[in-house]
Structure 1
Amino acid sequence: HLKLEMETNFPFPWPRAEFYGAFPETYLQIPAKLKPIPQDILEKKYDLILLGYQVWYLTPSVPINSFLHSEEAKKLLANTPVITVIGCRNMWIMAQEKIKKLLKNCKAQLVGNIALVDRHINHVSVITIAHWMFTGVKKRFLGIFPKPGVSQKDIDDATKFGRVILPHLNSANYSTLQKELLDKGAVKIKPFLITVDKRANVIFGKWANFIHSKSEKGENKRSLLIKFFNFYLIFAIWVMAPIVFIIFLLTYLPLWGKIKKEKQYFSSVVIKE
């Protein structure tokens, strides 16, 4: 397997200031420098590539984004079937749309998607993931919260997807792969999170462009703007999200047709032109 490594690694645990400071460039998908990929890997032709990635700020993480913007990725992925494997808290819908476009630019063939998520409710997972990320300790916060991240059971059970994939790999026919993966629970979409993800992307875009265009890294002004974004993020999670959820419930039945179509599309490997 290939582990993507940055020239300058992101720390773990991740100090708060550096975590929030990474927001503008992460969201705007500005590539950073990766360590070179070994030549022996680049020179091989692969029957199938499993592409694992994390979601940062509703966007593919900096390492995977940087890779998919590289000439090495174009060489490695061109005309090659790809299955994406996502590990994230809960919102990956729009990040996957960005991945679809990047893969298309690399002339890769997206044939499957598996999303492994933290199954706990939104506000619980916010607390547990933040504690894990900022301390580096993966345990039950305060002894009462669940362990953060994708559960060990879901990780262990992911072997079932390998059994689905193998016949398609052997036959080099992936036309029904995603449907079979869905039958095994590879993707489970909560319609409310589609709404939140789409709206949050619009707002994040405005924040990221504003901070990036009005300040430079290391400037006091940038630190101040990042703090304002931090306050906004807390407000959005704890105040705005519950309000959006109530509105979603009130409009669920009238919008059922649209919700059903969106759920079907985002579960697929199809890309909107």
Structure 2
Amino acid sequence: MKEVLIIYFTQTGQLHDILKNVESTLGGENINIDYHRIVPEPAYDFPWKNEEFYDVFPESYLQIPQETNQPSEKILSKKYDLIILGYQVWFLTPSRPISSFLKSDTAKKLFKDTPVVTLVACRNMWIQAQEKIKIHLKSLNAHLVGHIALVDRHINHISVITIQHWMINGKKDRLFGIFPKPGVSDTEIAKANRFGAPIREALLSDSFNDLQDKLLQLDAVRVNPYLVRTDERGNVLFSKWANFLIKKGGQGNPNRLKWIGLFKYYLLFAIWVIAPIVFIVFLLTYLPMTPKRKRERIYYSSVALNEN
């Protein structure tokens, strides 16, 4: 009997639905699947209050750990043959509950010498968050063998508007009856069941060497070269902001909240002004950057970690 552990954090339930669809074709004879849903302590409210949504930025981006719930004794007593790690992206970084769990002693025990498939469901920019996940897994002596990225396929600025509506109002509906639904589309969520079969095959054969290639054949990852540039630039700026804001006090501190308000407006400026400039530069350098884009597409679609 092969033992699989699915670890995830979700507020909206979207990621759980995706993982259940993957499980529908992964599970069955000779495979047992356990779940551990990460719950931060204290838990985050959903929908978010506007102020609190931005106030989690410094600790999230800097990956400062917080308390999370422990897996059951049943889970802790097992040695798993595969872990599937489902996560979201908060401010170009794995969500704070996920990064906190990956820094825990419990994670050291569960992940050591274990194959891992990562599955991210987010708005669109996941590249640098996945690089941070790779670093966590390396520190845990885990083996990344597969990656799946499901995103909102609508254009960047449309998805900014719709995700904000979802997070603040708690409604995954069509804003004003005009905009598309936020998040991963219902079709993509349903079609996530296509990933279970190759994972099952690799697990039962004890060979994960070509799993990522098989997942890529099923359109598991799409690398958008423009978003690669935007993600890189965003991380540079977010690093400066996070290190500045963390010095202004803890979450809810009135002095910090004044600066958080400024960060909120800066973020809007970055999305609506800086990002289009990055796009123009991207277009102007499109031809000379072709070899680099090809290398990046191959690398970011893989499970390799560039440690240079």
Tell me the TM-score normalized by structure 2: 0.87
Aligned to 2:118: 84
- Counterpart of 1:111 in 2: which secondary structure? strand
> C-alpha separation between the residues in 2 aligned to 1:127 and 1:176?
38
* Aligned twin of 1:190: 224
**Is this contact kept in 1: 2:122–2:151, CA < 8 A?**
yes
Structure 1's unaligned 5+ residue stretches are: none
CA-CA distance at 1:214 after TM superposition: 3.4
Amino acid at match of 2:155: I
Percent identity between matched residues is: 56
Equivalents in 2 of 1:14, 1:217: separation in Å? 14
Equivalent position to 2:161, from 124, 127, 132: 127
Aligned match of 1:199? 233
User: Shift of the alpha carbon at 1:76?
Assistant: 0.5
1:257 is matched with: 291
Corresponding residue for residue 2 of structure 1: 36
Q: Is the 8 A contact 2:38 2:68 kept in 1?
A: yes
Number of equivalences:
273
Matching residue's letter, 1:94 = Q
| Matched residue SS, 2:293 | helix
Instruction: Give the alignment partner of residue 214 of structure 1, picking from 224, 236, 248.
Output: 248
Rounded Cα–Cα distance in structure 2 between residues aligned with 1:18 and 1:211 = 14
Amino acid in structure 2 at the alignment position of 1:179: D
Matched, 1:147 2:181: yes
Matched, 1:168 2:202: yes
Following superposition, which runs of at least 4 residues in structure 1 exceed 4 angstroms of deviation? none
Aligned to 1:246: 280
User: 1:88 and 1:268 mapped to 2: Cα distance?
Assistant: 18
3-state DSSP class of the match of 1:24? Answer: helix
- So what's the TM-score if we normalise by structure 1? 0.98
Q: Which runs of 5+ in 2 are unaligned?
A: 1-34
Q: Structure 2: which amino acid aligns with 1:269?
A: V
Shift of 1:219: 2.6
Deviation digits for residues 213-245 of structure 1 (CA, Å, limit 9, x no counterpart): 233333322011101110110000011111110
2:68 is matched with which residue: 31, 34, 46? 34
Equivalent in 13, 20, 29 of residue 47 of structure 2:
13
SS at match of 2:187: helix
CA positional deviation for 1:248: 0.1
State how far apart, in whole Å, the 2-side matches of 1:228 and 1:21 are: 11
